[in-house]
Amino acid sequence: MSIGTDFMTKLGIGLTGLPYKWDTDEVDNIQAAQSKYSDNSELLEEVDKEMSELEDCPAGTPEQFQSAINDIKPLIQLNQGIPRGSFCTIPESVVSIETPENVTSYRSPYPIALVYHQVVQDQINEWLENGVIKRAPANTEWNSALTVVKKTNAKGEITGYRVCHDPRHINALLSSIDRMPLPKISELFEELKGASLSHGIMYNTCQLVLHLV
């Protein structure tokens, strides 16, 4: 039982995915129920509109924006020319994982829902094509399980899937652990206080160019 349902849409609250009718209901009753329990509201529509406007508001004039793009374009072209499967050449980009000699770690694959099998296969094919991975020999003593994670936007809508591997079992073999926690969102905002201009750059699978030794 829910009390105050008629006020929920005014507050931007919606009930979704819940049964509210019998299959034998008449059409008029179904339409009335859908109208009563609709999760659409003026408040949610205003929030969506505001978010869309914030995501499409380049700083400066169109001429200044185009000038910045022209400055960046040669660097983007150089980046596109980097051979697939190559590693970053900055010495600090090399990641070293020290494990004992002649010690291996194997984790059996996790069960993956049938609906995600094609997602995993497409990602594996892309990794093979780009030289990120290669086929392991038969009876290998190393293996990390794969997982599938949903990617969502700011509104919680699923926009795609990310295939990851779970290497946590290797932590038990490490001779030394460098604890480098990720920064908190609150700390990042603290560093940005007082700024009047910000920008974002999307790096596509940049972690794959780090040389792991």
The tens digit of pLDDT for each residue in 37-46 reads 455 566 667 7
Question: Assign residue 194 a region: left if phi > 0, alpha if psi is -120 to 50, beta otherwise?
Answer: left
- What are the residue boundaries of the structural domains of the chain, listed by start? 5-54, 99-175
DSSP line for 54-98: HHT--SS-HHHHHHHHHHHHHHHHHHHTSPTT-----GGG-B---
Mean pLDDT, the chain, integer: 78
Look at residue 37 in the predicted model and tell me its pLDDT. 46
Q: Label residue 110 by pLDDT band (50, 70, 90).
A: very high
The tens digit of pLDDT for each residue in 49-82 reads 776 766 666 667 788 878 888 998 898 888 888 8
The tens digit of pLDDT for each residue in 5-35 reads 666 666 667 666 555 555 554 545 545 554 5
The tens digit of pLDDT for each residue in 172-182 reads 898 877 777 78
**Long-range contacts at 34-43 (CB < 8 A, ≥ 24 apart):** 36/5, 36/6, 37/5, 38/9, 38/14, 39/9, 39/13, 39/14, 39/15, 40/9, 40/14, 41/9, 41/10, 41/11, 41/12, 41/14, 43/10, 43/11, 43/12
What is the separation of C-alpha 154 from the centre of its chain, rounded to a whole number of angstroms?
Answer: 11
Question: The CATH number of 99-175 is which of 3.40.1350.10, 3.40.50.300, 3.20.20.370, 3.10.10.10?
Answer: 3.10.10.10
